[in-house]
Structure formats: structure tokens, C-alpha cells
Amino acid sequence: MLSGLANPRQAAVQLMNFGLILSTAFMMWKGLSVITDSPSPIVVVLSGSMEPAFQRGDLLFLWNRNVVAETSVGEVVVYNVKGKDIPIVHRIVRKFGKGPEAKLLTKGDNNVSDDTELYASGQDYLVRKDIIGSVFAYIPFVGYVTILLSEHPWLKTVMLGLMGLVVVLQRE
Amino acid sequence: MASTEKITVYNVADLRATTDDALLNYLTSLGLIQSHTLLDTRLALGFSAFLLSAACFAWDYKLGFEATKQYTLVAVILYTLLNGALTYWIMFVEKGTIYVGKTKDGKTSLRVASDSKKPRSKGEAPVYKLTITVEDVKTKKTEKIDIERKFSEWFDASGRFVAAPFQTVLAQGVPLVGKLDPKRAVAAAPATGGQGLTKEQVAATPGYTQEILDAIASGLGENSSSAATGSSANQSGGKKRRT
């Protein structure tokens, strides 16, 4: 198995193959990001605040371009609270004004009150810039893997290690 | 000469990879000088694509998505082109080439492409296919040689590679190699009937050491009933290796 590594060029090719797997995956993600104009075009639902529409672990696909119409009331959007890294998936329930400066209010379908308390202190409404995309499609339950990976970070190292091992042992 | 590493006889990719390696070693040992241009181009394409994506990762991580959107778009397009070029290179230019080289005097160049095929009928060994192009550098005349042999001709049943029969196939199939290795060129040709090597055939061939005979005998096991020119030590050696 290791005889393939006797030749430095062969070793370089093996290394390159592994590196290309990682970089292709990354570039595909970035490509999707650029097409949808969203920093995070695929998100996983982390809480049950949008039940029964979306459950914890659902995979959501986002689109962040307003080609045909502006973001409007009733759309399910994803936004990051200023300063926090956790994406929140809620529905727009109020819109005041028009254009990019319009004030938007969101609320989770399964929540009692709207998101005013979730916003940063001093912030009462969202604007279009805060939103990183509107949900246009979803796959149920598939995203639970990501939740597992984030709650048990050692799983990530295990997965990468396995991938690397498989590529080095197989010579294509 | 028999390799001590055993590989799975059912894994065609392994069979081919081991044979490819042996071919490279053999040709280099004959004094042919290998040209690495093909592989180097592939490495250059692949690594530059990788470096591009590493750079994209770096600026995206440091400066965020919104600020670097335009650069990321350019990077994605460039990466797609580089990867496409790499795939094109591997599929259409390399086309399975495992060796490119020329003789020491620079008069003849050699290009070897390998492929493997599933067995023609069930129960038979898979087939190793070589396409060798020999070119006279001055006259630019090329000669194409196709060699198709079963892997069982140089792998014994337990998965050990035996170099001598493989080298004989090459020496007798390619006149250039035969010229550089006259010893193998006159050795008895291995059986192409499909049974692989018979013990009598192997033992009667000059140039085989006891070690090789043992290795082959261990693979032939059941057929070692008739005494060949080998001594009884041959047979006991075979039995030992079977356990």
C-alpha cells in the first residue's frame, strides 16, 4: 500500500487528489454563495420556532436576490442578529415603507411574540441588508447531521481523517 | 525477484497499479530515461487550482463574504476553468499513459498507456492492456504495439507479483525492450492459453531462480504432483507457503 509513496511524484499526485476534493467542495459552496448572493445559501433549522412549517434539522435553500419583487410580508427569511453568529429562520409579519430602507418585523410561527426581543439592543426592526436570504425550497431532516457535527465537534475530525485515509489507500 | 507484498487478486485496480509500478521500475532499470512532463503538467494544474481555492478561503475568512464577493466570483470561474482543464488533460491528453521516456542515446522515444479489462468470461482472470507507441525521433515514424495479457500470467494465486514472466512479456512484445534486455527476449514465452504458468514450463526455462520457482509453485499447489526438474525442496516449499 505504501509502495505508491516511494516515488515522490506519486505521493504528490495522491496529495493533490485529496486537496482537490476539499477545494472542489469549498469552491462549489462559494459558487452557490455567489449565485444566490447569500453568505450562507444552505442553512439548517436549529429550533422549533417555525413549526409546523419547518422542524429542527430541516435543510433550507436560500435565495437572496430581489429580481422580480421586493422581499414582502409572508416570506420566510433567514437573518443574523447583529453581533451574533446564529442564523434565525422566521417569517416577515410586518413591513413599513418600501425599498432597501423599509423596516421589517419578523416572528416565528410557533412563537407567542414577535422578534423584537431577539434584535440587538436599541434595534426595533430589521432592514433588507440584515437578511441573508429567503427560503425557496427545503429538504426535511437531512440537516440533522450538521446539528450533530456542531454539538460534537470531534466528529468533524473523525470524518476528515476517514476521507483522507480512503483517498490515500485507493490509487485511482 | 518475487515481491513479498501480497495484494488482493480480486481487486483489478490493485492488480493494475502494481503492474504499472513494476513496468516503470523495469523500464528504468533498463536504462530508459523517463520524461515527467505529462505528470508535471497535471500536478501544476491541480496545485494551482488548489492554491486558488486556498486564497479564496483566506480572503473570505479574513474579510467576510460581502466585501470580497467580486473576487470570489472571479475565483470560482477561474477554478472551474482550471479544474475543467485538468479533467480534459487527464481524459484526453494523458489517456491512461503511465510512462513516457526515451533511450539513453535519445534516438527512440517510448510511450506506454495501460488499461485493464474485466475477464472475457466468468472465472477467467482480468486482462491487462498495454498500448505502446515507439517513435523514432529523427524520422518521426511511430509504431504502435498492443499487448493484452491476463494478470494471472505474472501474479500467482496468492497475489504475489512475479517479475520475470512480466518482463518477458514486455521484452518479447516490444522490440525496443527486447533489444535492451536480450536475456528476457529469448526466454520461453509464457502460456497465453489462459491457464497461467505451468510448473514444467517455468522450471524448464533458463533464468529462473529457485526463489521464483517456489513462489510460482506455491500458487500452483494442486498441480505440483509430477516432479519437474526442481527438487523435492520445491514441493515442500510450496506446501509451507500454503498454510
The number of C-beta contacts closer than 8 angstroms across A and B is: 66
- Decide if pLDDT at A13 tops 50: yes
User: In a mutagenesis test of the B interface, which of A15, A20, A132, A169 is the best target, namely the one with the most B β-carbons within 10 Å?
Assistant: A20
Domain limits, chain B: 2-32+103-242, 38-94
Choose from A45-59, B109-123, B193-207, B216-230 the range with maximum mean pLDDT: A45-59
- Whole-Å CA distances, B114 to A122, B148, B159, B164: 70, 10, 20, 19
Is A16's CB within 8 Å of B46's CB?
yes
Question: In sequence order, what are the residues at sequence separation of 6 or more whose Cβ sits closer than 8 angstroms to the Cβ of residue B6?
Answer: B158, B159, B160
Is B72's CB within 8 Å of A34's CB?
yes
DSSP string spanning B75-105? HHHHHHHHHHHHHHIIIIIITTEEEEEE-TT
Is A31's CB within 8 Å of B80's CB?
yes
Alpha-carbon distance of B99 to A160, in angstroms, equals 33
Residue type, B30: L
Of A9, A17, A26, the CB nearest to B53: A26
Of B21, B42, B76, the CB nearest to A34: B76
- Averaged pLDDT for residues B107-113: 87
Residues of A in contact with B69 (CB under 8 A): 34, 37
Residue of A nearest to B5 (CA): A1
- pLDDT averaged over chain A? 88
Per mean pLDDT, which range of A38-52, B66-80, B151-165, B209-223 is the poorest? B209-223
Is A23's CB within 8 Å of B49's CB?
yes
Is A30's CB within 8 Å of B69's CB?
no
Is B79's CB within 8 Å of A4's CB?
no
pLDDT tens, residue by residue, B132-174: 888 888 888 888 888 888 888 888 878 788 888 888 888 888 8
Quote the pTM value.
Answer: 0.70
User: In a mutagenesis test of the B interface, which of A5, A28, A34, A169 is the best target, namely the one with the most B β-carbons within 10 Å?
Assistant: A34
The phi, psi pair for B92, rounded to 5°, reads -110, -25
Residue A85 contacts B where some CB pair is shorter than 8 Å: no
Q: Which of residues 91-110 of A touch B (CB under 8 A)?
A: none
Report ipTM (2 d.p.).
0.77
Of A3, A24, A33, the CB nearest to B65: A33
- pLDDT averaged over chain B? 77
Q: What is the pLDDT of residue B239?
A: 45
Residues of B in contact with A31 (CB under 8 A): 76, 80
- Decide if pLDDT at B192 tops 60: no
The order of strands in the sheet holding B108-117 is B33-34, B97-102, B108-117, B127-136, B142-150
Of A13, A24, A30, the CB nearest to B72: A30
Is B80's CB within 8 Å of A4's CB?
no
